[in-house]
Amino acid sequence: MFKIVRKRLLAPQIYLMDVLAPRVARSAKPGQFLIVKMDEKGERIPLTICDYDAEKGTVTIVFQTLGSSTQQMAKYEEGDSFADFVGPLGQPSEMVHENLEELMKKKILFVAGGVGTAPVYPQVKWLHENGIAADVIIGTKTRDTLLFEEEMKAVAGNVYVATDDGSYGYKGLVTNLLKDLVQVQGKQYDLVVAIGPMIMMKFVSILTKELGIHTIVSLNPIMVDGTGMCGACRVTVGGTVKFACVDGPEFDGHLVNFDEAMRRQAMYKDAEGRKVLKAVEGDTHHAKGCECHENSEGGR
């Protein structure tokens, strides 16, 4: 059992929890995710790791109550425990494997959208711990739903906030703010890392391709089972079939077929759509070596 040692309401329907999981905390790297199960019969919920403390043995998760499982999860309080807390899973951020001297030469910008701000934080924090100050754009609907602004300011170079309604910071989309930083303010970036809703990552990638900036995106939003068994996170990257949960979750944003991924995401929500996808995609429907299970509800 994995005990919840801290719980906070960050914004309406968005919760943070610190969970006691020493082995996960010691092994976690920026960009990875884990699987949470509330009880033996509970749904498998993949969540990107928001933070980790190897000394305290805690791992921080952030989730939004979108479906029945996460609504039930939100009822858990400090002192309650999860039945399973499995990880770290997936591939770490590519920056973790880069030569630090070469990485220090790069100007890096993160673009975080909504709850995607949570998995951006550990990457910016890791860079800060290694002497690198990345810039960050945080996009949100309104000031009331803004996450991690102060935490991000403590570890980032510059933090820019964009709100849809103009209630705080820049009024407008993160793509417009990014364009303003580069084309008006003269900022230069060698790498953009975008994490957030699929539609946001798509348009950030379109823009950065025009600007000639290498871009990484995290496809955590399309994961369901987290093992490649369900086929939910099947995506085409550079013409090759990949699975976000085992091959990612991070990929080259200029190579991801976002339109295909978003169509699949919509079809996967109902049983008939899943049957169609399985029939059309055949052996490539799920990750090689796994057998497709039909027991995931996708009801987070």
**Which residues neighbour 237 within 8 Å (Cβ) at sequence distance 6 or greater?**
251, 252, 255, 256, 257
Q: Is the pLDDT of residue 223 over 70?
A: no
Read off the pLDDT band of 260 (50, 70, 90).
confident
Sequence-separated (6 or more) residues with CB below 8 Å from residue 130: 100, 103
Question: Once rounded to an integer, what is the mean pLDDT over residues 89-98?
Answer: 88
Predicted confidence band at 42 (pLDDT cuts at 50, 70, 90)?
confident
d(CA 3, CA 245): 25
Domain with CATH 2.40.30.10 in the chain: 2-89
Q: Which token pair is 146?
A: 């803004």
Domain 94-218 architecture: 3-Layer(aba) Sandwich (3.40)
Does pLDDT of 299 surpass 50? no
**Matching CATH number, 2-89, of 2.40.30.10, 3.40.50.2300, 3.30.420.40, 3.10.580.10:** 2.40.30.10
Reading the block at residue 124, the tokens are 């910016």
Scan for tokens 């919509």, then name that residue: 266
Mean pLDDT, range 6-25, rounded to an integer: 95
pLDDT greater than 90 at residue 300: no
Question: How much is the pLDDT for 107?
Answer: 97
Mean pLDDT of the chain: 85
Residue ranges of the chain that CATH labels 3.40.50.80? 94-218
Phi, psi for 22 (deg, rounded to 5): -55, -45
Exposed, middle or buried: residue 59 (CB in 10 Å: 0-12, 13-18, 19+)? Answer: buried
CA angle 251, 159, 33 (to 5 degrees): 35
Beta carbons of 91 and 219 less than 8 angstroms apart: no
Q: What is the pLDDT of residues 135-171, one digit of tens each?
A: 999 999 999 999 999 999 999 999 999 999 999 999 9
- Place 290 in a pLDDT band, splitting at 50, 70 and 90: very low
Phi and psi at residue 299, to the nearest 5°: -105, 35
Residue 262: its pLDDT value, please? 82
Pairing of strands 81-82, 58-64: unpaired
